[in-house]
Structure 1
Amino acid sequence: METPHEHDEPAAAPSTAEPRNAFLEEKAFKSRTVLLFGEVSDRSAADIARRLIALDAESDKPIDMLVSSPGGHLESGDAIHDIIRFIGAPVNMIGTGWVGSAATHLYLAVPRDRRFCLPNTRFLIHQPSGGAGGPASDIAIHAREIIKARERIAQTIARETGKPLDSVLADIERDRWLSAEEAIDYGLVGRIIQNKSELRR
């Protein structure tokens, strides 16, 4: 005769992932550090905006934001860019891995003296891309919006690097990759650092 629950599934061991994540989140908050790793999306923009606003409410001390992202949704990058400029606490922007496209746009939200990168960071600037389909009138509208976005991105790069707008427009016509040293020369980055203590100099 079967004993009760003889064939029941064994109870799952309690997961340690959730407490560990909560612990790491708390440590990041206490150290006033925000991470953007991966694609820039509506979800990542909402998460980063929440963190920035919470940290700003907590203190006016600097916030360190580490960015390693290929870019993504331009308007999501705009949202992060504008929130960084909206809050009162200064943000130290730290590039690592690679910073491309919409991620470069949000990276430029802070003054050059607060734009840092680690030695192996690469940067990518280019014009926005589009793949609209549908009626010809919709394609024409989309094309006009792409041109406007291209102008706006070029104006931001020109303003934050000191380069002439015409020069930037030519540079972003195709993919333009820059090493950490080249990004310094271009005006994207203020300083290459190797450790956190260099942020406070």
Structure 2
Amino acid sequence: MTSWNNPTLQSARQAPKALGIPYVIESSARGERVFDIFSRLLKERIVMLNGEVDDSVSAIIVAQLLFLEAENPEKPISFYINSPGGSVTAGMMQYIQSPVATVCMGQACSMGSLLLTAGEPGHRSILPNARVMIHQPRQAIIVYTTFGGASGQASDIAIHAKEILDIRERLNQIYVHHTHQSLDVIVNRMERDHFMSAEQALTFGLVDKVLEKRPFISITNTAESSTPNNSKKTEPSSTPQPEPARKP
């Protein structure tokens, strides 16, 4: 058994004060192991997105999703989202086979809302006080000015303008697919920043449920999930009951 005076464990206990990231110490017959809290959650197939979506954040999340898929492609993954949005290309990363249950906590804006609604159908959730915002994609385009200032090729401006319109059309189709709203409704809502409460996001079709409390049992593909919800509970009896036959 590893000693509690082990320098590694002492460093782990001091690290949260310096870095702000909690550590978890687990004991077993083989000794003690130290995990940062996010690595420990990853063992439970929980992935966190906190902050803006860029290429670096996208690479970390994709790596975690691919790792979990390699471990078990059929077992669900829980993806918790609190993001103001970010890069369009970094956010369009729906690829793995594992079902991904998405949960919005805080906010899911712009690309964050797309990640939220692209989760496993029936398992897209939002907390009661969270907010969702959708809008059309944006891109900085260099333009000519009569009196100087910004400069660039006119043909490049036309190319970038066409690209952003193509991206907008692609995003519109993704929202249509996942929300089952008409294209006209999606285009109208995304013309400007459109904020929604949890209930409005549910009505719009971005999510499937509003979570008042975290479910006690995670989404699994085990036999327990096939047990009918309307099964009646029986009071304990003083009369011995025969043990049910076990299935082979």
Name the CA distance, whole Å, in 2 between partners of 1:26 and 1:148. Answer: 38
Name the CA distance, whole Å, in 2 between partners of 1:151 and 1:23. Answer: 41
Q: CA deviation at 1:54?
A: 0.9
Cα-to-partner distance string for 1:132-173 (whole Å, 9 max, x where unaligned)? 112221111111111111111111111111111111111101
Are 2:82 and 1:68 aligned? yes
Name the CA distance, whole Å, in 2 between partners of 1:178 and 1:131. Answer: 26
Which protein has the bigger helix share? 1
Letter in 2 for 1:142: H
Cα-to-partner distance string for 1:88-126 (whole Å, 9 max, x where unaligned)? 221110001010111112222224311101111110000
Are 2:37 and 1:28 aligned? no
Are 2:52 and 1:39 aligned? yes
Asked which structure has the greater RCO (Cα within 8 Å, sep 6+), the reply is: 1
Of the structure 1 ranges 34-43 and 97-106, higher mean CA displacement relative to structure 2 is found in 97-106
Alignment correspondent of 1:176: 194
Letter in 1 for 2:201: A
How many pairs align?
Answer: 184
Picking from 186, 208, 211, the partner of 1:193 is: 211
Name the CA distance, whole Å, in 1 between partners of 2:39 and 2:133. Answer: 32
| Secondary structure in 2 matching 1:181 | helix
- Normalising by structure 1, what TM-score? 0.84
Name the CA distance, whole Å, in 2 between partners of 1:111 and 1:26. Answer: 23
Alignment correspondent of 1:105: 114
Picking from 91, 103, 109, the partner of 1:77 is: 91
Name the CA distance, whole Å, in 2 between partners of 1:35 and 1:66. Answer: 5
| Secondary structure in 2 matching 1:16 | helix
| Secondary structure in 2 matching 1:174 | coil
Are 2:66 and 1:53 aligned? yes
Cα-to-partner distance string for 1:172-195 (whole Å, 9 max, x where unaligned)? 011111000000110001001123
Max Rg structure: 2
Name the CA distance, whole Å, in 2 between partners of 1:55 and 1:112. Answer: 19
Write out aligned runs for 1:119-138 (5 A). Answer: 119-133=128-142, 134-138=152-156
RMSD: 2.0
Question: Percent identity, aligned pairs only?
Answer: 36
Of the structure 1 ranges 55-64 and 123-132, higher mean CA displacement relative to structure 2 is found in 55-64
Of the structure 1 ranges 62-71 and 188-197, higher mean CA displacement relative to structure 2 is found in 188-197
Alignment correspondent of 1:163: 181
Q: Is the contact made by 1:112 and 1:188 (CA closer than 8 Å) also made in structure 2?
A: no
Write out aligned runs for 1:77-96 (5 A). Answer: 77-79=91-93, 82=94, 86-96=95-105
Gaps of 5+ in 2: 1-9, 25-34, 143-151, 220-224, 226-248
- Normalising by structure 2, what TM-score? 0.69
Q: CA deviation at 1:197?
A: 1.5
Alignment correspondent of 2:166: 148
Q: Is the contact made by 1:111 and 1:160 (CA closer than 8 Å) also made in structure 2?
A: no
Name the CA distance, whole Å, in 1 between partners of 2:183 and 2:15. Answer: 52
Q: CA deviation at 1:26?
A: 3.1
